[in-house]
Structure 1
């Protein structure tokens, strides 16, 4: 099973709109074209599909992502409007990957850039994990780790420690995929692998105390090959 993660597209209703360092729609198109060449079985888009929270931006994303020849799924980020997303394409909370499960955890707080899981969503996660002990990949928008970047950590997952307390009881959770950070990440906590992925648009400068764009970096995507209870993963960058 080959999964490709794409994230943080930040599209506008205007297809010609610019970001700080490029053109979001053009860059998403380039990333999707490259991803098609990887022959994925499934593509996950891990939030911040829109920048301006417009229906038109989701329709643009849907048009580009529908060029994929495999099923694709998206989840909401802090810049998104889930109701508008759902009107274009459903947001799924779980995807059956055969020997694996993909569970989506909503970390968004309406009107805020930071993330929280909250007691209700944590309780729901416990129920879902108790129901199936297959190897599990947990997908969320906000990273569940401190990154060492002051401004980015300030808008990270506020109740990450509560999440890790829950995960301690469920060793079938083998890895977490996140968006939001606009950079590659490979880390571990409590035996769980945590991966972040470059944005399809602007990249954030790792380790920066203040907001900064990494102008030397390029858009990219993550490939994840799943076999039984093991996996191999890496990041690919896209030339523009």
Structure 2
């Protein structure tokens, strides 16, 4: 089973719109073209599809993602407009990956850049983990731990400690996929049930410079995406970069 994660497209209604250092729609097309060559079984887009929250931005994204020969799914980020997204393509909160399962968690807080899951969704997550002990991936837009950039850590998942407390009882959770940080990232969080890997994904739009106190762009880095291969109970992952 091969999963491709794409994140942080930041598209605008104007297809020729420029970001700080690139052209988001052009870069997304290049990323998808490369991802298709790797023949994924499933594609997950972990939020911030739009920059301006316009219906046209989501239509651009829908057209590009529809080039995949496999099912694709998307989640909201802090820049997104869920109603416009749902009109084009439905949301899902769980994906069956055969020997694995993938649970999608909504960390968006309307009007805020930082994220939060909330007590109710965390209780629901615990109930879902109780009912199935297959190896499990979680996905959310906001990172569930600090990444070493002070400005971004202030905009991460506000209730991350509550998430880790919830997961402490469930050893089947092997990894968490997130977006939001615009950079490749990998870390591990130790729990009483073992370690849980956390993987961040490059943006298809601008990249952020890692380990900075204040906002800074990584002008030397390229757009990219993450590949996750699942074989039995084994997970392997790497990042692909694309010349836009």
Aligned residue in 1 for 2:208: 204
Instruction: State how many pairs are aligned.
Output: 240
CA distance in 2, matches of 1:120, 1:195: 25
Aligned residue in 1 for 2:160: 160
- How far off is 1:137 after superposition? 0.4
Q: Does 1:195 align with 2:183?
A: no
Aligned residue in 2 for 1:144: 144
CA distance in 2, matches of 1:239, 1:25: 14
- For the aligned residues, what is the CA RMSD? 0.6
Residue 11 of structure 2 aligns to a residue whose secondary structure is coil
Aligned residue in 2 for 1:95: 95
Aligned to 1:216, which of 216, 220, 232? 220
CA distance in 1, matches of 2:234, 2:198: 14
CA distance in 1, matches of 2:58, 2:131: 33
Residue correspondence of structure 1 range 28-177 to structure 2 within 5 A: 28-177=28-177
CA distance in 2, matches of 1:217, 1:196: 15
CA distance in 2, matches of 1:170, 1:110: 29
Aligned residue in 1 for 2:234: 230
- How far off is 1:148 after superposition? 1.4
CA distance in 2, matches of 1:236, 1:145: 23
Q: Deviations over 1:21-77 (max 9, x none)?
A: 100000000000000000100010000000001111111000000001111000000
* TM-score, normalised by the number of residues in structure 1: 0.99
Residue 156 of structure 1 aligns to a residue whose secondary structure is coil
Residue 16 of structure 2 aligns to a residue whose secondary structure is coil
Gaps of 5+ in 2: none
Q: Which runs of 4+ in 1 moved over 2 A?
A: none
Gaps of 5+ in 1: none
* TM-score, normalised by the number of residues in structure 2: 0.97
Aligned residue in 1 for 2:181: 181
Residue 128 of structure 1 aligns to a residue whose secondary structure is helix
- How far off is 1:229 after superposition? 1.1
CA distance in 2, matches of 1:100, 1:153: 30
